[in-house]
Amino acid sequence: MIYDSRPCSLGEGPMWHPLRNQLFWFDILGQRMLSIERGQPRQWRFPEMVSAAGWVDRNMLLIAGERDLFLFDIETEEVQTLVELESGNRATRSNDGRADPLGGFWIGTMGKKAEPGAGAIYRYFRGELRQLFADITIPNAICFAPDGGFAHFADTATGRVMRVTLDAEGWPNAAPTVFLDLTAEGLNPDGAVIDADGVMWLAQWGAARVAAYDPAGKFLRAVSFDAPHTSCPAFGGADFTTLYCTTALQDMDDAARAKYPNAGMTFAAEHVAKGRAEYQVQP
Protein backbone atom coordinates (compact mmCIF):
# COMPACT_ATOMS: atom_id res chain seq x y z
CA MET A 1 0.00 0.00 0.00
CA ILE A 2 1.02 3.63 -0.40
CA TYR A 3 2.21 5.02 2.93
CA ASP A 4 2.84 8.55 1.68
CA SER A 5 1.84 9.86 -1.73
CA ARG A 6 4.33 12.73 -1.97
CA PRO A 7 6.61 11.72 -4.86
CA CYS A 8 10.35 11.87 -4.29
CA SER A 9 12.86 12.50 -7.03
CA LEU A 10 15.20 10.20 -5.14
CA GLY A 11 13.61 8.70 -2.03
CA GLU A 12 16.17 7.22 0.35
CA GLY A 13 17.13 6.53 3.95
CA PRO A 14 13.87 5.49 5.69
CA MET A 15 14.38 5.24 9.46
CA TRP A 16 11.73 4.30 12.03
CA HIS A 17 12.29 6.32 15.21
CA PRO A 18 11.46 3.91 18.04
CA LEU A 19 10.84 6.61 20.66
CA ARG A 20 8.55 8.70 18.48
CA ASN A 21 6.96 5.76 16.62
CA GLN A 22 7.51 7.77 13.47
CA LEU A 23 9.08 7.14 10.08
CA PHE A 24 11.56 9.64 8.65
CA TRP A 25 12.93 9.49 5.10
CA PHE A 26 14.67 11.67 2.55
CA ASP A 27 14.28 13.03 -0.95
CA ILE A 28 17.96 13.48 -1.74
CA LEU A 29 17.58 15.55 -4.89
CA GLY A 30 14.74 17.53 -3.32
CA GLN A 31 16.98 18.45 -0.35
CA ARG A 32 14.32 17.51 2.19
CA MET A 33 13.44 15.13 4.98
CA LEU A 34 9.85 13.88 5.18
CA SER A 35 7.65 12.28 7.81
CA ILE A 36 4.06 11.81 8.94
CA GLU A 37 3.30 13.01 12.44
CA ARG A 38 -0.09 12.47 14.09
CA GLY A 39 -1.54 11.73 10.68
CA GLN A 40 -0.24 14.92 9.10
CA PRO A 41 2.57 15.18 6.53
CA ARG A 42 5.68 17.06 7.60
CA GLN A 43 8.84 18.02 5.80
CA TRP A 44 12.07 19.84 6.55
CA ARG A 45 14.06 21.54 3.79
CA PHE A 46 17.84 21.87 3.82
CA PRO A 47 20.29 24.07 1.90
CA GLU A 48 22.07 21.01 0.51
CA MET A 49 21.28 17.38 -0.20
CA VAL A 50 20.55 15.05 2.75
CA SER A 51 20.32 11.28 2.54
CA ALA A 52 20.24 9.25 5.77
CA ALA A 53 19.81 9.54 9.53
CA GLY A 54 20.18 7.82 12.87
CA TRP A 55 18.34 8.67 16.08
CA VAL A 56 20.19 10.12 19.07
CA ASP A 57 17.26 10.80 21.42
CA ARG A 58 13.59 11.68 21.08
CA ASN A 59 14.17 14.97 19.28
CA MET A 60 17.72 14.71 17.98
CA LEU A 61 18.82 13.04 14.76
CA LEU A 62 22.24 12.58 13.25
CA ILE A 63 21.80 13.44 9.57
CA ALA A 64 24.15 12.82 6.67
CA GLY A 65 24.34 15.91 4.53
CA GLU A 66 26.11 16.71 1.34
CA ARG A 67 29.29 17.88 3.07
CA ASP A 68 28.98 16.93 6.74
CA LEU A 69 27.36 14.83 9.44
CA PHE A 70 25.26 17.04 11.68
CA LEU A 71 22.89 16.92 14.62
CA PHE A 72 19.38 18.14 13.88
CA ASP A 73 16.69 18.95 16.43
CA ILE A 74 13.36 17.89 14.93
CA GLU A 75 11.36 20.43 16.93
CA THR A 76 13.62 23.50 16.99
CA GLU A 77 15.40 22.76 13.66
CA GLU A 78 18.72 23.72 15.24
CA VAL A 79 21.77 22.32 13.45
CA GLN A 80 25.18 21.39 14.88
CA THR A 81 27.94 20.06 12.63
CA LEU A 82 29.67 16.99 14.05
CA VAL A 83 32.28 16.37 11.37
CA GLU A 84 32.93 17.44 7.80
CA LEU A 85 32.34 14.82 5.11
CA GLU A 86 34.45 15.39 2.00
CA SER A 87 33.66 19.08 2.43
CA GLY A 88 36.43 20.10 0.05
CA ASN A 89 34.98 18.00 -2.76
CA ARG A 90 31.91 19.64 -4.26
CA ALA A 91 31.56 16.79 -6.77
CA THR A 92 30.34 14.27 -4.15
CA ARG A 93 27.39 13.86 -1.79
CA SER A 94 26.27 11.40 0.84
CA ASN A 95 24.04 8.45 -0.05
CA ASP A 96 23.16 5.33 1.95
CA GLY A 97 23.85 5.21 5.70
CA ARG A 98 22.80 3.47 8.90
CA ALA A 99 23.65 3.32 12.62
CA ASP A 100 25.59 0.27 13.80
CA PRO A 101 25.04 -1.82 16.96
CA LEU A 102 27.70 0.06 18.95
CA GLY A 103 26.24 3.47 18.24
CA GLY A 104 28.50 4.37 15.35
CA PHE A 105 27.20 5.60 12.02
CA TRP A 106 28.26 4.29 8.60
CA ILE A 107 27.82 6.56 5.60
CA GLY A 108 28.66 6.29 1.91
CA THR A 109 29.56 9.06 -0.49
CA MET A 110 29.33 9.14 -4.28
CA GLY A 111 29.78 11.46 -7.21
CA LYS A 112 26.77 13.66 -7.92
CA LYS A 113 26.79 12.22 -11.44
CA ALA A 114 27.72 8.73 -10.21
CA GLU A 115 31.25 9.11 -11.51
CA PRO A 116 33.04 5.72 -11.30
CA GLY A 117 35.01 5.26 -8.10
CA ALA A 118 34.39 8.81 -6.85
CA GLY A 119 32.91 7.76 -3.50
CA ALA A 120 33.82 5.94 -0.34
CA ILE A 121 32.32 4.41 2.81
CA TYR A 122 33.07 5.91 6.22
CA ARG A 123 32.31 5.19 9.86
CA TYR A 124 31.77 7.90 12.48
CA PHE A 125 32.39 6.57 15.99
CA ARG A 126 33.28 8.34 19.24
CA GLY A 127 34.07 11.58 17.51
CA GLU A 128 36.22 10.05 14.77
CA LEU A 129 35.39 9.80 11.07
CA ARG A 130 37.43 7.05 9.42
CA GLN A 131 37.36 5.97 5.78
CA LEU A 132 36.70 2.23 5.54
CA PHE A 133 36.48 1.55 1.80
CA ALA A 134 37.49 3.71 -1.17
CA ASP A 135 36.81 3.67 -4.93
CA ILE A 136 33.04 3.24 -4.47
CA THR A 137 30.71 4.36 -7.24
CA ILE A 138 27.24 4.04 -5.63
CA PRO A 139 27.38 3.02 -1.92
CA ASN A 140 24.38 1.10 -0.69
CA ALA A 141 23.10 -1.84 1.39
CA ILE A 142 24.78 -0.74 4.64
CA CYS A 143 23.32 -2.97 7.36
CA PHE A 144 24.46 -5.07 10.30
CA ALA A 145 24.06 -8.53 11.79
CA PRO A 146 21.92 -8.55 14.93
CA ASP A 147 24.93 -9.65 17.01
CA GLY A 148 27.18 -6.97 15.54
CA GLY A 149 29.63 -9.52 14.18
CA PHE A 150 29.62 -8.29 10.61
CA ALA A 151 28.43 -5.56 8.28
CA HIS A 152 27.19 -5.54 4.72
CA PHE A 153 27.61 -2.92 2.04
CA ALA A 154 27.36 -2.72 -1.73
CA ASP A 155 28.64 -0.74 -4.64
CA THR A 156 25.51 -0.88 -6.79
CA ALA A 157 27.60 -0.51 -9.95
CA THR A 158 29.25 -3.90 -9.30
CA GLY A 159 25.99 -5.84 -8.76
CA ARG A 160 27.45 -7.37 -5.59
CA VAL A 161 26.70 -7.13 -1.87
CA MET A 162 29.75 -7.52 0.33
CA ARG A 163 30.17 -8.83 3.86
CA VAL A 164 32.92 -7.83 6.27
CA THR A 165 33.61 -9.05 9.80
CA LEU A 166 33.90 -6.52 12.62
CA ASP A 167 36.02 -6.38 15.76
CA ALA A 168 34.76 -5.69 19.27
CA GLU A 169 34.80 -1.94 18.57
CA GLY A 170 32.78 -2.33 15.37
CA TRP A 171 35.66 -1.71 12.93
CA PRO A 172 36.28 -4.02 9.95
CA ASN A 173 39.04 -6.51 10.79
CA ALA A 174 39.33 -8.45 7.52
CA ALA A 175 38.95 -7.98 3.79
CA PRO A 176 35.34 -7.92 2.54
CA THR A 177 33.99 -11.04 0.84
CA VAL A 178 31.13 -11.40 -1.64
CA PHE A 179 27.82 -12.19 0.07
CA LEU A 180 25.54 -11.84 -2.99
CA ASP A 181 26.53 -11.72 -6.63
CA LEU A 182 23.52 -10.49 -8.59
CA THR A 183 25.32 -9.79 -11.85
CA ALA A 184 24.01 -12.89 -13.62
CA GLU A 185 20.45 -11.84 -12.80
CA GLY A 186 21.05 -8.25 -13.84
CA LEU A 187 19.82 -6.97 -10.46
CA ASN A 188 21.01 -3.74 -8.87
CA PRO A 189 21.47 -3.88 -5.07
CA ASP A 190 20.29 -0.72 -3.34
CA GLY A 191 19.45 -0.11 0.33
CA ALA A 192 19.11 -3.00 2.77
CA VAL A 193 18.14 -3.85 6.33
CA ILE A 194 18.54 -7.05 8.35
CA ASP A 195 15.57 -8.34 10.37
CA ALA A 196 15.52 -9.94 13.81
CA ASP A 197 16.25 -13.38 12.33
CA GLY A 198 19.30 -12.23 10.38
CA VAL A 199 17.49 -12.15 7.02
CA MET A 200 18.56 -9.36 4.66
CA TRP A 201 15.83 -7.34 2.95
CA LEU A 202 17.41 -5.76 -0.11
CA ALA A 203 15.83 -3.13 -2.34
CA GLN A 204 16.67 -3.74 -5.99
CA TRP A 205 16.73 -0.63 -8.16
CA GLY A 206 14.77 -1.14 -11.36
CA ALA A 207 13.14 -4.37 -10.19
CA ALA A 208 10.17 -2.91 -8.24
CA ARG A 209 10.84 -5.12 -5.25
CA VAL A 210 12.59 -5.79 -1.96
CA ALA A 211 14.11 -9.28 -1.90
CA ALA A 212 14.87 -11.39 1.18
CA TYR A 213 18.07 -13.45 1.53
CA ASP A 214 18.93 -15.75 4.42
CA PRO A 215 22.27 -15.45 6.29
CA ALA A 216 23.87 -17.84 3.79
CA GLY A 217 22.77 -15.68 0.84
CA LYS A 218 19.91 -17.92 -0.31
CA PHE A 219 16.99 -16.11 -1.92
CA LEU A 220 13.81 -16.58 0.12
CA ARG A 221 11.12 -14.35 -1.38
CA ALA A 222 10.41 -10.84 -2.60
CA VAL A 223 7.86 -8.16 -1.82
CA SER A 224 6.78 -6.16 -4.88
CA PHE A 225 5.92 -2.47 -4.95
CA ASP A 226 4.21 -0.39 -7.62
CA ALA A 227 7.30 1.61 -8.53
CA PRO A 228 10.32 0.37 -10.47
CA HIS A 229 13.08 2.13 -8.56
CA THR A 230 12.80 0.69 -5.06
CA SER A 231 15.65 2.32 -3.14
CA CYS A 232 15.70 1.44 0.56
CA PRO A 233 13.66 -0.58 3.09
CA ALA A 234 13.10 -0.15 6.83
CA PHE A 235 11.10 -2.05 9.41
CA GLY A 236 8.76 -0.14 11.70
CA GLY A 237 5.31 0.03 13.21
CA ALA A 238 4.30 -0.87 16.73
CA ASP A 239 5.66 -4.43 16.43
CA PHE A 240 8.29 -3.84 13.70
CA THR A 241 6.43 -6.06 11.24
CA THR A 242 5.73 -3.35 8.65
CA LEU A 243 8.22 -3.09 5.81
CA TYR A 244 8.53 0.46 4.50
CA CYS A 245 10.22 1.21 1.19
CA THR A 246 11.24 4.44 -0.48
CA THR A 247 11.24 4.78 -4.27
CA ALA A 248 12.45 7.27 -6.87
CA LEU A 249 11.43 9.10 -10.02
CA GLN A 250 15.05 9.47 -11.07
CA ASP A 251 15.96 7.91 -14.46
CA MET A 252 12.30 7.61 -15.50
CA ASP A 253 11.16 9.17 -18.77
CA ASP A 254 7.61 10.38 -19.47
CA ALA A 255 6.49 6.95 -20.69
CA ALA A 256 7.79 5.21 -17.57
CA ARG A 257 6.17 7.76 -15.30
CA ALA A 258 2.87 7.30 -17.09
CA LYS A 259 3.14 3.54 -16.68
CA TYR A 260 4.01 3.83 -12.97
CA PRO A 261 2.04 6.81 -11.62
CA ASN A 262 2.95 5.85 -8.03
CA ALA A 263 6.68 5.99 -8.65
CA GLY A 264 8.58 8.10 -6.15
CA MET A 265 6.04 7.49 -3.40
CA THR A 266 6.80 5.73 -0.11
CA PHE A 267 5.22 2.31 0.42
CA ALA A 268 4.38 -0.01 3.30
CA ALA A 269 3.77 -3.76 3.41
CA GLU A 270 2.33 -5.11 6.65
CA HIS A 271 3.16 -8.38 8.45
CA VAL A 272 6.13 -9.14 6.22
CA ALA A 273 8.69 -10.21 8.81
CA LYS A 274 9.86 -9.28 12.30
CA GLY A 275 12.29 -6.39 12.22
CA ARG A 276 14.07 -4.73 15.09
CA ALA A 277 14.57 -1.18 16.32
CA GLU A 278 17.24 0.90 14.62
CA TYR A 279 20.32 1.28 16.77
CA GLN A 280 20.76 4.48 18.78
CA VAL A 281 23.60 6.73 17.63
CA GLN A 282 26.08 7.67 20.35
CA PRO A 283 27.65 10.86 18.95
Residues 19/55, Cβ–Cβ less than 8 Å: yes
Q: What's the whole-number mean pLDDT along residues 216-227?
A: 98
Q: Would you please indicate which residues are annotated as catalytic (active-site) residues?
A: 190
Domain 2-269 class, CATH top level: mainly beta
What's the mean per-residue pLDDT of the chain? 97
The pLDDT value given to residue 135: 98
Q: Tens of pLDDT along 154-180?
A: 999 999 999 999 999 999 999 999 999
How far, in Å, are 69, 102, 103, 124, 173 from residue 54 at the CA level?
11, 12, 9, 12, 24
Q: What is the pLDDT of residues 17-57, one digit of tens each?
A: 999 999 999 999 999 999 999 999 999 999 999 999 999 99
Listing DSSP states for 3-65 in one string gives EE----SBEEEEEEETTTTEEEEEETTTTEEEEEETTEEEEEE-SS-EEEEEESSSSEEEEEE
| Segments making up each domain of the chain, as ranges | 2-269
Residue 87 has pLDDT above 90, yes or no: no
What is the C-alpha separation between 282 and 131, in angstroms, rounded? 19
* pTM tops 0.95, yes or no: yes
